[in-house]
């Protein structure tokens, strides 16, 4: 095995160790059963399957910003358990291919999709996005939500994304960037330590996109509204007894979910991380 392949294997191992939750499908199925939810809808899964700041609201905001329309072919890189892909399929009529490196996430994505019933418009594949065979000019849009923080070679990824886009196709990102203070306080949802944290600042990210031939259409720092969202979330009154909570993202994030979320807020407050959303277009 050459050095590049060896590094790749080590990196994959670290990513899998960080995200993988054994028996995730069974855990989630049991949680819905305990909550008395034998039938679930796409709305019911929102607290559980949108693994990024501002949850489903952010997914919708991005889909609107990007102008996603029925029939568009979308590639979702690092799709997690499939919440954003299902939202694009169920609410925007897109045909979505979701790719994720965690096998349990892909199984869970398929199970939830079957249960909420949008499976004719989604395909989920267990793949490392750095090894995904990006075919030329296949997608109207590529999107990635809170994943490039784990990608060291962003230049190569962006080059491949450009190749996969049809002419004038768009790439939508919703990502964590570094702030003026470093390092972030760990654990965070995307890393337990520095070994798989590859955040760069917003300017660097824009430079990498430009160098890959992707032209800026829209760019916004949404750190402030992200902080407001967290404040609102923690100040929500607890549900009265008798009203069971719907299963949430903590099941996907595992035992340290609370610390990870707390550190996201701390890191935003201390300007250790910034949250950005952007849309770029393939230049002809
Ligand atoms: C914070 S989660 C976001 C999941 C999803 N995009 C969402 O917003 O609900 C980051 C995801 O990126 C995936 N990921 C990280 N590195 C990856 C890689 N090299 N290839 C494919 N997926 C990757 C992780 O497995 C995880 O599901």
User: Of 100, 146, 199, which is best to mutate to test ligand 1, by the most ligand atoms within 8 angstroms of its C-beta?
Assistant: 100
Ligand 1 atom nearest the C-alpha of 190 is 1
Among the listed residues 108, 97, 116, 141, the one whose alpha carbon sits nearest the alpha carbon of residue 39: 116
Report the C-alpha dihedral over residues 222, 225, 231, 232, rounded to 10 degrees. Answer: -130
What is the reported pLDDT for 7? 85
Residue nearest to atom 10 of ligand 1 (CA): 147
What is the reported pLDDT for 247? 96
What is the reported pLDDT for 284? 77
Phi, psi (rounded to 5 degrees) for 205: -60, -45
Question: Treating both helix axes as pointing N-terminal to C-terminal, what angle do 83-92 and 55-66 enclose, rounded to 10 degrees?
Answer: 50
Proportion of the chain in helix, strand, coil states, percent, rounded to 5 = 45, 20, 35
Distance separating alpha carbons of residues 49 and 112, to the nearest angstrom? 9
What is the 11 CA–ligand 1 centroid distance (Å)? Answer: 14
Tens digit of each residue's pLDDT (9 = 90 or more) over 63-88: 999 999 999 999 999 999 999 999 99
pLDDT classification of 2: cutoffs 50, 70, 90: confident
Higher pLDDT, 9 or 279: 279
Ligand 1 atom nearest the C-alpha of 76 is 6
pTM, full prediction: 0.96
Tens digit of each residue's pLDDT (9 = 90 or more) over 89-142: 999 999 999 999 999 999 999 999 999 998 889 999 999 999 988 899 999 999
Pocket of ligand 1 (CB under 6 A): 15, 19, 50-52, 78-80, 83-84, 99-102, 105, 128-130, 145-147, 150, 189-190
User: Of 9, 57, 80, 113, which is best to mutate to test ligand 1, by the most ligand atoms within 8 angstroms of its C-beta?
Assistant: 80
Tens digit of each residue's pLDDT (9 = 90 or more) over 43-63: 999 999 999 999 999 999 999
Distance separating alpha carbons of residues 232 and 274, to the nearest angstrom? 19
Tell whether the model's pLDDT for residue 260 goes beyond 60.
yes
What is the 260 CA–ligand 1 centroid distance (Å)? Answer: 16
Domain count, the chain: 1
Tell whether the model's pLDDT for residue 241 goes beyond 60.
no
Exposure on the CB side of residue 255, measured as CA atoms within 13 A: 3
Residue nearest to atom 24 of ligand 1 (CA): 78
HEC readout, 36-103: CCCCCCCCCCHHHHCCCCCHHHHHHHHHHHHCCCCCCEEEEECCCCCHHHHHHHHHHCCEEEEEECCH
Ligand 1 atom nearest the C-alpha of 128 is 20
What is the reported pLDDT for 3? 82
Distance separating alpha carbons of residues 95 and 121, to the nearest angstrom? 5
CATH of the domain at 125: 3.40.50.150
What is the reported pLDDT for 239? 60
Tens digit of each residue's pLDDT (9 = 90 or more) over 148-191: 999 999 999 999 999 999 999 999 999 999 999 999 999 999 99
Structure tokens at 5: 């392949």
Q: How far apart are the first and last CA of the chain?
A: 38
Query: Which residue segment(s) compose the domain that 100 sits in?
Result: 3-282
DSSP for 130-153 reads TTS---TT-EEEEEEES-GGG-S-
Among the listed residues 13, 35, 52, the one whose alpha carbon sits nearest the alpha carbon of residue 252: 52
What is the reported pLDDT for 243? 61
What is the 40 CA–ligand 1 centroid distance (Å)? Answer: 24
Ligand 1 atom nearest the C-alpha of 59 is 8
What is the reported pLDDT for 281? 98
What is the reported pLDDT for 235? 74
User: Of 14, 62, 63, 147, which is best to mutate to test ligand 1, by the most ligand atoms within 8 angstroms of its C-beta?
Assistant: 147
pLDDT classification of 242: cutoffs 50, 70, 90: low
Residue nearest to atom 13 of ligand 1 (CA): 78
Tens digit of each residue's pLDDT (9 = 90 or more) over 179-209: 999 999 999 999 999 999 999 999 999 999 9
Number of alpha helices (DSSP H) and beta strands (DSSP E) in the chain: 11, 7
Pairing of strands 122-126, 95-100: parallel
């Amino acid at each position: 095995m050459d050095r590049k392949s060896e590094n790749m294997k080590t990196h994959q191992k670290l990513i899998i160790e960080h995200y993988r939750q054994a028996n995730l499908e069974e855990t989630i199925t049991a949680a819905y059963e305990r909550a008395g939810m034998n039938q679930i809808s796409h709305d019911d899964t929102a607290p559980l399957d949108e693994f990024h700041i501002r949850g489903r609201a952010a997914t919708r905001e991005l889909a609107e910003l990007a102008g996603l329309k029925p029939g568009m072919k979308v590639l979702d890189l690092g799709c997690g358990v499939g919440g954003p892909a299902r939202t694009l399929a169920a609410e925007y009529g897109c045909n979505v291919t979701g790719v994720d490196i965690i096998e349990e996430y892909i199984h869970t994505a398929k199970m939830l999709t079957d249960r909420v019933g949008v499976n004719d418009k989604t395909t989920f594949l267990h793949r490392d996005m750095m090894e995904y065979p990006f075919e030329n000019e296949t997608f109207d849009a590529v999107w990635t939500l809170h994943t490039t923080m784990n990608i060291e070679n962003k230049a190569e990824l962006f080059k491949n994304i450009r190749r996969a886009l049809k002419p004038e196709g768009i790439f939508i990102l919703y990502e964590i960037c570094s702030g003026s203070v470093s390092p972030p306080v760990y654990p965070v949802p995307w890393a337990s330590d520095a070994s798989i944290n590859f955040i760069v600042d917003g300017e660097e990210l824009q430079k990498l996109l430009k160098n890959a031939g992707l032209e800026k259409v829209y760019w916004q720092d949404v750190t402030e509204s992200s902080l407001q969202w967290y404040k609102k979330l923690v100040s929500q009154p607890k549900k009265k007894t008798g009203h069971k909570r719907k299963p949430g993202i903590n099941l996907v994030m595992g035992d340290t979910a609370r610390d990870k979320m707390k550190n996201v807020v701390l890191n935003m407050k201390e300007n250790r991380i910034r949250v950005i959303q952007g849309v770029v277009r393939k230049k002809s």
